[in-house]
Amino acid sequence: METSTQTHGQTNVGSVERWLSVVAGSALAAYGIRRRSIAGFVVAGIGGALVHRGATGRCMVYESLGITTADEQDDSRISVPYGKGIRVEKSMTIDASAADLYTFWRDFENLPRFMKNLESVKVTGGNRSHWIAKGPLGSNAEWDAEIINEIPNELIGWRSLEGSDINNAGSVHFTPATGGRGTVVKVVLRYDPPGGVAGAAISRLLGEDPEYQVQEDLRRFKRIIETGELATIDGQSTGRN
C-alpha cells in the first residue's frame, strides 16, 4: 500500500505523529492504531510512534486485559468458569429492544456475521454448539460450547467443553438504556492464555488486543441491527486501481 509518508518524506510522518501525540496522554491512539494492520498506511506512517508504543504499549495492553486470577463475578449465573486468564468486558448502546437483540444473538449461527474471526457456529442440539474460529495461514481453532445460563431478553452465558482448542467462556447482557434510548449490550469474555497451534489461532481470534476485537465486533453487531449493512469502502474506485 502506498502511503503519503513514503512519497512525501517527513511532512506527513510529522503530522501523524503530531496527531498521535495529541492523544498520547491516554496512549490510546498508539494503542489502537498499533493493533490495526488494515491501517497499513497509518502504521507505515507512524515511524517514531511505533517505537513509542513499543515503550508504552505493553503495559497498557497488559492492564487493559485485566489479567487476574480472581473471579470477580460473584453472580453464579454468569459463565466465566476459568478464573485464570484474560477477561474482556465491552459495552455498546444499540437502538433496538432487548428482545430483538437477544433473539438475534441467541441464534448463534448469526454470530459470524459480526464476529470477524469466527468462521462458523453450528447448533448441534439442545444447548450445544460447535464453533470454528479462523486461525492464521488457514488453520482453525474449534471447540464445542454449551449454554450454561440464560434469561430470555436479558442474558446468555456459555462456556467451552472438554477437549476444546481454546478454553473460553462468555456472556452477553441486554439492559434497557435510560429514557428508551435503546439497549446496552455488554459482552464479557474470558479465555485461557493459549499456547501452541491453538494459541496462534486464539491470538488471531481475539487479536493482540482483545478489547479492540470485542469492541469492533459489537460495532458490527450494532450496524447490522441499526442499518442492515456494514459500512465499507472495500472495492471502491480510487486513483490507486
Partner 1 sequence: MRAVCWWGKGEVRVVDTPDPGILNPRDAIVRVTLTAICGSDLHLYNGFVPTMMRGDILGHEFMGEVVEVGSDVKKLKVGDRVVVPFAIACGACFFCRKGMTSLCDNSNPNAWMLDALNGYASSAAFGYSHMYGGYSGGQSEYVRVPYADVNPFKIPNGLPDEKVLFLTDIFPTGYMAAENCGIEPGDTVAVWGAGPVGFFSAASARLLGAERVIVIDRIPERLRLVQEQCKAETINYEDVDDAFETLKEMTGGRGPDRCIDAVGMEGHGHTIDARLDKVKQLMKLQFDRAHSLRQALHACRKGGTVSIPGVYAGFIDKIPMGVAFAKGLTLKMGQTHVHKYVRPLLERIERGEIDPSVVITHRATLEDAPDLYQTFRDKEDDCIKCVMQP
In the complex, the residues that contact partner 1 under the rule CB under 8 A are 1-4, 7-8, 11-12, 14-19, 22-23, 28-29, 31-33, 36, 39, 41-42, 45, 93, 95, 181-182, 212, 215-216, 219, 222-223, 226-241
Which residue lies nearer to partner 1 by CB, 10 or 124?
10
- For the bound state, the minimum distance from the C-beta of residue 228 to partner 1, rounded and expressed in Å, comes to 7
Nearer to partner 1, 19 or 82 (CB): 19
Q: Report the residue number, 31 or 131, with the smaller CB distance to partner 1.
A: 31
Q: CB of residue 116 vs partner 1: minimum separation in angstroms?
A: 12
Query: Measured between alpha carbons, how far is residue 54 from residues 27, 36, 49, 85, 92 in Å?
Result: 11, 15, 8, 23, 29
Q: Which is nearer to partner 1, 11 or 68 (CB)?
A: 11
Shortest CB 186 distance to partner 1, Å? 17
Nearest to 229 by CA among 60, 120, 103, 113: 113
Distance CA 156, CA 159 (A): 10
Q: How far is the CB of 111 from partner 1 (least distance, A)?
A: 19
The overall longest dimension of the chain from CA atoms, in Å, is 60
Least distance to partner 1 from the beta carbon of 206, Å? 16
Closer Cβ to partner 1, 39 or 147, answer by number: 39
- DSSP H or E run through 132: strand 128-134
| Calpha distance 45→87 (Å, rounded) | 32
DSSP 214: H
Residue 158 has which C-alpha cell?
Answer: 456459555
